[in-house]
Amino acid sequence: MWSRGWAGIFFLLCVWEIVIIIERTTGRKDLGLLAGALFVSMPMTPLIASWSYAETPFWMLTVSCIGSLMLWRAGNSQIPLVVAAVLAAGAAYTKNEGLLFTVLASCWILLTPGKKRWSALILFALCFSVLYFPWLYWIKFVLKLGSHATAGLHLDSENVLRVTDRIPKAFESIFGMWSDIKRWNIVLWVTGAYAVFGCMKRGCRTDLILPLGMLLGYLVIIVFHNDDIYWQIGTSWDRLTVQVMPLLLVVLVPHAWNMFSSARAR
């Protein structure tokens, strides 16, 4: 368990990593600083960073992992891929959501053009497994700890009908939370709108697999869960949204800059 005293340090490291990734991909430090400032400006970001011991290291590890994957894609070395696997394992140690992140990162690797994708996936999975499975054995079989994160995740007819009734309630609750100016600001809505636009562009669509896949995965787990839907959304959705936001920023800001640069060049 991360000490809460480290939360602020991991928060700063996460913001620093956002700046580094965007500066490396665009050549513009000011864009990196802008993205970092946008992340910090959302009211829920510093609030969650102030009380949660595990969220900020998870943000830092996932952002660093996607940065390493981008570095691997842009070069010829396999070292960034190994580093990405180590960071993904760290994210999986820290939060259960790290497993979903690792699965989506594997899909991202398979969709990366111009690379030996299957050999890269095997290397990534092998490095991750060597680090993660001893930990999994320890918590499951030695400490005998369990998780209720996927409780209710089955597809029998009765459960599907229950989920169908929960989906509109989930969207209503999420929209209400995202519309609260005391929790979020225009950054969330502008980023979300550009993410929808980015889904129409092939290169951006591939990069959005990680952040949007995580958000969709969280939604599926919540609507299938056995607990009350309003309680589930109310206690977790702000926290889950913040997990996705730094990933969205490091994906969308470089794509937006490239699109702007191309339009200006014409």
Contacts with 44 (C-beta within 8 Å, 6 or more apart), sequence order:
183, 184, 238, 241, 242
Asked whether 237 and 173 are in contact (CB, 8 A), the reply is yes
Q: Which pLDDT belongs to residue 239?
A: 94
Give the model confidence (pLDDT) of 52-95 as tens digits: 778 999 999 999 999 999 999 988 899 999 999 999 999 999 99
Amino acid of residue 9: I
Q: What separation in angstroms does the CA of 26 have from each of 145, 194, 255? A: 44, 18, 9
Q: What is the pLDDT of residues 141-172, one digit of tens each?
A: 888 776 767 777 777 788 888 889 999 999 99
> 265 falls in which pLDDT band (50, 70, 90)?
low
The single-letter code of the amino acid at 1 is M
**Closest among 50, 52, 36 to 95, alpha carbons compared:** 52
74-83, 187-196, 202-211: the lowest-pLDDT one = 202-211
Q: Would you place residue 119 in the very low, low, confident or very high pLDDT band (cuts 50, 70, 90)?
A: very high
The tokens for 102 are: 């690792």
Among the listed residues 14, 108, 11, the one whose alpha carbon sits nearest the alpha carbon of residue 51:
11
Looking at residue 37, what is its pLDDT? Answer: 95
* pLDDT score at 199: 80
At 3 the pLDDT is 60
Task: Reply yes or no on whether the pLDDT at 2 is more than 70.
Answer: no
Break the chain into its structural domains and give their ranges.
Answer: 4-265
pLDDT recorded at residue 50: 86
Q: What is the pLDDT of residue 32?
A: 94
pLDDT band at 173 (very low <50, low <70, confident <90, very high): very high
Token pair 């990734």: residue: 21
Distance, CA of 209 to CA of 190 (rounded, Å)? 18
Amino acid 13 reads L
Those residues whose C-beta lies under 8 Å from the C-beta of residue 95, and which sit 6 or more positions away, are 54, 55, 58
Q: Which amino acid is at 158?
A: E
- Residues found in the chain: 266
Distance between first and last Cα of the chain: 53
pLDDT number for residue 258:
84
φ/ψ of residue 63, rounded to 5: -65, -45
Residue 127, CA distances (Å) to 50, 110, 133, 137 in order:
33, 16, 10, 16
pLDDT at residue 131 is higher than 80: yes
The pTM is what?
0.92
Taking the C-alpha atoms of residue 70 and residue 174, their distance in angstroms, rounded to an integer, is 31
